[in-house]
């Protein structure tokens, strides 16, 4: 069911005056590359395709005015432009064309867009919009017209309703939803007919009324069940969140303990450091003492010898006086009296001056003692004191850093919450159990009611079979009900089955395009089609935490996975998709192109497809086209076959 673009014809569209680009479909390869420098008209081709398909929904009238070729416009102000696309779907040729005319009224100009004309195998199709919607639904255009920046939204945490609808459209879900709705209405309508026909038969009438009652009860139960399921899901989310918080807190609780230890260690170290600091300050105050120590010792020794001399002199004076005052002569040559008196007078003078010297000597002795004490001063080991102080400061700094880090990590956590969290986990688990029990109870009650409904239906059929009309209507009711039930079951099955297969395909493609195939082992597609990446440890990574390149790789894998599984592979037209990516992702995405089931047309600059990467996929490329300027004007380009 592959849809392929066979040709594009552009007339007076932007820089193309009359251009036809053909894509040869008689080949096994399915990649085309259209090279063009910036401003040469690559995006103009993509815009032409989108405008031709979706008209004014895609390009507003004011913007369309700028799409008329400016060179031709000078000659003809009421110019007409046109875009014509030719698609091939399994041999059926779809020719889609759209024209617009520039209308000048006075000094104002406007653009009038005509409805697209669609021909299938040369036959005009009456509903062109519906026909285009069937070929390439506008809601899903992101899946065909690949814009690397735009598609990153598929890697977001939440999808918009439009995105959800587009995904379901690709998966073929809306037609099943419609069938469920329409078959339900058909059932109601036939049941009403049966009721009207059966009103003449009292027994049948009673059974039909009972059946209606039971059906009403079933509807009520269904609503209750739906509500209970929603409540269950909400409770499950709360439980999950609480358990996650609990496990975070468990981790943080150890950290909280570490932080408390650090705090007490910190105050102890702070005291030690302050003491060491004071010690250094004290010792520094006495720092001059060691410098003067040698001098002090010298002075003390000098004073010691002076004291000794004074003492000796004093002793000598006493001895001399004793000799002079003695009667016995010890020398044999005694001095005369006048000499003796003179000596005694001198001694007297010496003794008098000695008395005052004794006072000085006492003071000196005291000073000497103090100097001696000072000279015994023990010089502190400044190196080890400073080293100890600095070491303590470093330790303190490290403790403070570690405490700050832990404080940051445990921010918002308090002891109360830590103690309370497991209680909350228990409560949330209990709530989930209660909701589950409620669901089980409602399911049981619904099953009983359904059983009653079946029995009443059988009874009704038996009673109705007595009359041909009611018998036929009863058969119709049974068929309509069967169809309705089958549609309901089919939707659930289809969603689950599609999701599973797309998940497998997306995971496979993602492993080939990601830069981290060892780390990212798969892709998870959630209930609401949002994506998650499974890592090697089994955790699911939120895609919003990925880099821009990683997001694009993930979205590419998802879109390619959808395309592979949709069963209606549509052409993938990519406008300068790889130039902004890192070389790893660029190489991986380019190498993944040959595996896509659809036709791929890449509008590229040299940066998107560097030669070494082009050579890697060259064998899968059908053709290379090149956009060239005609003269030195941005209003005239042409597309030539390069290879």
Partner 1 sequence: MEEKLQELVAKYKIPEQLLKEAIQQEKEKVVLQKRRMVPILITMIERYADLPNSSIENDNYGT
577 SS3 class:
coil
- Cβ proximity to partner 1: between 130 and 394 the closer is 130
Q: Which of residues 16-45 bind partner 1 (CB under 8 A)?
A: none
In whole angstroms, how large is the CA radius of gyration of the chain?
A: 51
Considering only the stretches 111-119, 185-193, 456-464, 624-632, report the one whose residues sit in contact with partner 1 under the rule CB under 8 A.
185-193
* Distance of closest approach, residue 92 Cβ to partner 1, in angstroms: 15
Q: Is 581 helix (H, G, I), strand (E, B) or coil?
A: coil
Alpha carbons 505 and 552: distance in angstroms, whole number: 16
Q: Which is nearer to partner 1, 14 or 484 (CB)?
A: 484
Q: Rule CB under 8 A: choose which of 186, 386, 413, 540 binds partner 1.
A: 186
Size of the site for partner 1 (CB under 8 A): 35
Position 479 contacts partner 1 (CB under 8 A): yes
With CB under 8 A as the contact rule, the residue among 57, 130, 281, 434 that binds partner 1 is: 130
DSSP codes, 287-326: THHHHHHHHHHHHHHHHHHHHHHHHHHHHHHHHHHHHHH-
Applying CB under 8 A, among 245, 277, 407, 475 the residue interacting with partner 1 is 475
Structure tokens at 546: 């990925």
Of 69, 157, 149, the residue nearest 636 (C-alpha) = 69
Compose the 160-179 pattern: x for residues touching partner 1 by CB under 8 A, - for all others: ------------x-xxx-xx
In the list 22, 80, 88, 133, the residue contacting partner 1 (rule: CB under 8 A) is: 133
- Check: CB of residue 22 under 8 Å from CB of residue 88: no
Which residue lies nearer to partner 1 by CB, 135 or 559? Answer: 135
Pick the closest to residue 29 from 552, 434, 595 (CA basis). 595
- Told to check if 450 binds partner 1 by CB under 8 A, we report no
Closest CA to 31 of 579, 571, 587, 553: 571
- Among residue numbers 482 through 511, which ones bind partner 1 (CB under 8 A)? 482-483, 485-487, 489-490, 493-494, 497
Shortest gap between Cβ of 431 and partner 1 (angstroms)? Answer: 35
Q: How far is the CB of 236 from partner 1 (least distance, A)?
A: 28
CA atoms within 13 A on the CB side of 637: 25
Q: Considering the rule CB under 8 A, would residue 536 count as an interface residue with partner 1?
A: no
CB count in 10 Å sphere of residue 352: 10
Cα-based distances in Å from 228 to 232, 239, 425, 448, 610: 6, 16, 20, 18, 57
For the record, the structure tokens of 47 come out as 């815009």
- What tokens does 298 get? 């010298």
User: Of 88-96, 127-135, 195-203, 397-405, which segment contacts partner 1 by CB under 8 A?
Assistant: 127-135
Judged by CB under 8 A, which stretch of 46-54, 181-189, 224-232, 288-296 contacts partner 1?
Answer: 181-189
Query: DSSP label at 152?
Result: G
In the complex, the residues that contact partner 1 under the rule CB under 8 A are 127, 129-130, 133-134, 137, 172, 174-176, 178-179, 182-183, 185-186, 189-190, 472, 475-476, 478-483, 485-487, 489-490, 493-494, 497
């Amino acid at each position: 069911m592959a849809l392929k673009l066979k040709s594009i014809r552009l007339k007076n569209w932007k820089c193309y005056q009359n251009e036809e680009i053909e894509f040869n479909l008689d080949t096994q390869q399915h990649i085309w590359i259209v090279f063009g420098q910036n401003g040469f008209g690559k995006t103009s081709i993509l815009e032409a395709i989108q405008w031709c398909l979706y008209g004014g929904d895609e390009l507003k009238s004011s913007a369309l005015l700028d799409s008329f070729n400016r060179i031709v416009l000078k000659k003809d102000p009421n110019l007409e432009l046109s875009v014509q696309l030719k698609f091939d779907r399994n041999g059926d040729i779809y020719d889609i064309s759209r024209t617009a005319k520039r209308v000048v009224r006075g000094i104002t100009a406007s653009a009038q867009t005509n409805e697209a004309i669609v021909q299938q195998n040369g036959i005009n199709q009456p509903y062109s919009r519906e026909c285009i919607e069937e070929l390439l639904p506008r809601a899903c255009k992101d899946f065909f017209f690949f814009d690397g920046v735009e598609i990153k939204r598929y890697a977001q945490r939440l999808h918009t309703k439009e995105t959800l609808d587009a995904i379901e459209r690709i998966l073929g879900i809306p037609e099943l939803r419609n069938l469920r709705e329409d078959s339900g209405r058909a059932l109601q309508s036939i049941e009403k007919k049966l009721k009207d026909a059966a009103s003449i038969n009292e027994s049948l009438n009673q059974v039909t009324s009972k059946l209606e009652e039971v059906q009403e009860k079933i509807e009520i139960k269904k609503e209750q069940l739906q509500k209970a399921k929603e409540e269950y899901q909400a409770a499950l989310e709360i439980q999950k969140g609480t358990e996650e918080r609990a496990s975070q807190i468990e981790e943080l609780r150890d950290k909280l303990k570490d932080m408390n230890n650090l705090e007490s260690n910190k105050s102890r170290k702070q005291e030690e450091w302050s003491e060491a600091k004071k010690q250094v300050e004290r010792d520094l105050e006495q720092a001059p003492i060691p410098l003067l120590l040698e001098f002090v010792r010298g002075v003390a020794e000098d004073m010691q010898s002076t004291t000794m001399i004074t003492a000796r002199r004093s002793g000598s004076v006493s001895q001399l006086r004793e000799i002079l005052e003695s009667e016995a002569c010890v020398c044999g040559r005694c001095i005369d009296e006048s000499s003796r008196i003179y000596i005694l007078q001198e001694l007297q003078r010496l003794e008098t001056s000695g008395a005052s010297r004794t006072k000085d000597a006492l003071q000196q002795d005291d000073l000497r003692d103090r100097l001696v004490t000072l000279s015994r001063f023990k010089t502190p080991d400044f190196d080890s004191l400073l080293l100890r102080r600095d070491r303590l400061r470093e330790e303190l700094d490290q403790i403070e850093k570690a405490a700050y880090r832990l404080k940051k990590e445990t921010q918002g956590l308090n002891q109360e919450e830590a103690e309370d969290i497991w209680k909350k986990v228990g409560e949330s688990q209990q709530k989930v159990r209660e909701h589950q029990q409620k669901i089980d109870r409602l399911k049981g009650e619904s099953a009983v009611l359904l059983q009653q409904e079946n029995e009443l239906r059988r009874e009704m059929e038996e009673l109705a079979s007595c009359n041909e009309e009611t018998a036929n209507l009863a058969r119709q009711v049974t068929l309509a009900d069967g169809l309705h039930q089958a549609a309901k079951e089919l939707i659930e099955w289809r969603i689950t089955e599609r999701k599973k297969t797309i998940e497998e395909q997306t995971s496979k493609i993602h492993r080939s395009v990601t830069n981290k195939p060892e780390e990212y082992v798969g892709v998870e597609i959630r209930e609401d089609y949002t994506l998650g990446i499974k890592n090697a440890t089994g955790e699911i990574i939120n895609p919003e935490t990925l880099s821009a390149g990683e997001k694009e790789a993930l979205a590419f894998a998802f879109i390619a996975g959808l395309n592979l599984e949709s069963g209606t592979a549509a052409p993938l037209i990519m406008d300068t998709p790889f130039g902004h990516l890192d070389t790893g992702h660029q190489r991986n995405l380019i190498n993944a192109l040959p595996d896509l089931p659809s036709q791929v047309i890449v509008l590229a600059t040299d940066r998107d497809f560097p030669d070494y990467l082009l050579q890697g996929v060259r064998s899968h490329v059908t053709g290379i086209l090149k956009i060239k300027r005609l003269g030195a004007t941005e209003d005239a380009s042409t597309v030539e076959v390069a290879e």
